[in-house]
Structure 1
Amino acid sequence: MHRALALYSGGLDSLLSILIVKEQGIDVVALKFFTGFTAPLNENDLNYAKKFGFKIEEIDIREKFIEVLKNPEYGYGKNLNPCIDCKILMLKEAKERLSKYNASFIITGEVLNQRPMSQKREVLKLIENKSTLNGLILRPLSAKLLIPTKPEAEGIVNRELLYDIWGRTRKPQLNLAKKYGIEKPPQPAGGCLLTEPSFCRKVKDLIEYDELTVQNIELLKIGRHFRVSEHCKVIVGRDEKENEFLLNNHYGTFIYPKDFKGPVVLLTGNCSEKNIDMAASICAYYSKRKTLEVVIKTATQEEIKIYSAITEEEILKYRL
């Protein structure tokens, strides 16, 4: 039996591409790449794999993706999304696993002209060349609009059973979803946090201060963020769940109300007295009190002090 590796995003297009190829008697192993900015492998993914009979594996590429994000060869999209460089990285990682799985080609859910930056005909060819996978990337949803691949030329894949979908329409994919018995089609997997302007401001801050690490990226996903000095950030929990996460999963200097009626504040970087004072004033502001008795807890000591809340005008100067 022939086998293919699939770049699987969790969206409908990549799922359909797997099913189209499987329908031709080809075994498929789905690879879901975790960049730190996309959804990790989840229960829905596992349920689809079980229902439709394909293997699935999560590949953590966060460290490698950080280097791509800092300086993408082909630039960013509308926000901070290096879509072309990201796809090249994933394809290179998939190529390295072809022999591991005894697979002979790679499939993706790309649709010609669906996305303005990364799915134009010339860009698809560029991505194929840069990943050194010439002729080995099959895009089942748009294959009839593209040059035949090696698996098609060799008779492994029947080109007549592939599709000629292009553009941003979703009707053909939804019709295919009905054909394959996908009752609740997943949304297009465009959920990359690097397409969200407010999130990108926080990422740019980390890049500017050379603090872009896996741990710091995870911290961006919770709380309110403030840059209070060149080497110090303040993160404020927004609810009880985030407060517990900050306290239980990170090391640093913590500030929180003595009566626990308010947020947990985490300082990262240089915890000077001036920065601690600023963080405590921010804690008082979000506790909705003019003055607040707070606990200041470090790895070696704990003390209690009273602080006045920062003004709304001042807080906007530091908010990311």
Structure 2
Amino acid sequence: MGHAPDFETLVERHRREIQVHCYRMLGSLADAEDLAQETFLRAWKGRDGFEGRASVRTWLYRIATNACLDVLARRPRRVLPDQLGPAGEPAGPIAAADLPWLEPYPDRLLDGAAPDTTGGTDDPGAAVVERETIELAYLAAVQYLPPRQRATLILRDVLGWSAKETAALLETSVASANSALQRARATLRERLPARRAEWTAGDPTAEETALLKRFIAAYEAGDPAAVARLLHEDAQAIMPPYTLWFGSRAAIIRALSLSMDPASPDCIGRFRMLPVRANRQPAVATYLRRPDEREHRWFGVTLLTIEGGVVTAMAAFESLGAAAWGLPETWPAGDGARHSPGKMQSDA
């Protein structure tokens, strides 16, 4: 492998895509960061054994997959609230649950993760950050797969590895690898939303941008009725780390009417929001000023599913800090930042 600088040059250009691979396997940004680091540590320790029969990228993916399988062998799958029980109704304060929650992934970390293949020396099946294999629904469905099925599916259907390559990595037969892939695909067909292809995809459209502006305005105004006009009748809302989730527009609005009303004992405060992207989906970064506070502090990120010009699902996460999104922990003083989200992020 050569001297240390050569090693670093060869492997570091793959760091982001390896981290995305670990995220697909594990469903956690924090775990993905740790396992990407573990991958490069293992690669460093084993660099003298690299014989060049495969590309550096393939070698790193093999190390990363095995590192993730080691973790999955001793950890439970990550979950979302709607996988744990039926929808509920708002009834005052709710308690958080210490569970292995699925986490979102900021698009700012996805950008640049697709490899540069212009040199012509990399694998033809190199990883590409496609929306359908990074969106939250896909990651939630993948969590149902046993670890080796999960690895098989990602290696074959996301990375484009052959059955022979996959079987070699997993130390199994080609027939067993093909069988695992078919079982994994069947599970995904059962778990993925039926109308997933109709969701907003790709770069934000003018309609999506306008909807996000209305969504933000409604929340910042503390106006549940305005939020209601943007939601589908059967809209769902999940809020990890809380197991309670809502399965209708009516239930969501009843909850917001309590949490947004300054006269209610359940009022949590006033919001400020910025449009962001996560898992290749539209999202909003949220700051909250609680009733007894003077500053808007980081609260979390809410991913939106948009279909037919309305929001059909909201997934609000409090598990990641502002730094993951390139944002400050408190809302900057002055109204200028509110109207310049791009500047706010670049200045963070």
Normalised by the size of structure 2, how large is the TM-score? 0.24
Larger helix fraction of residues = 2
Higher Cα Rg: structure 1 or 2?
A: 1
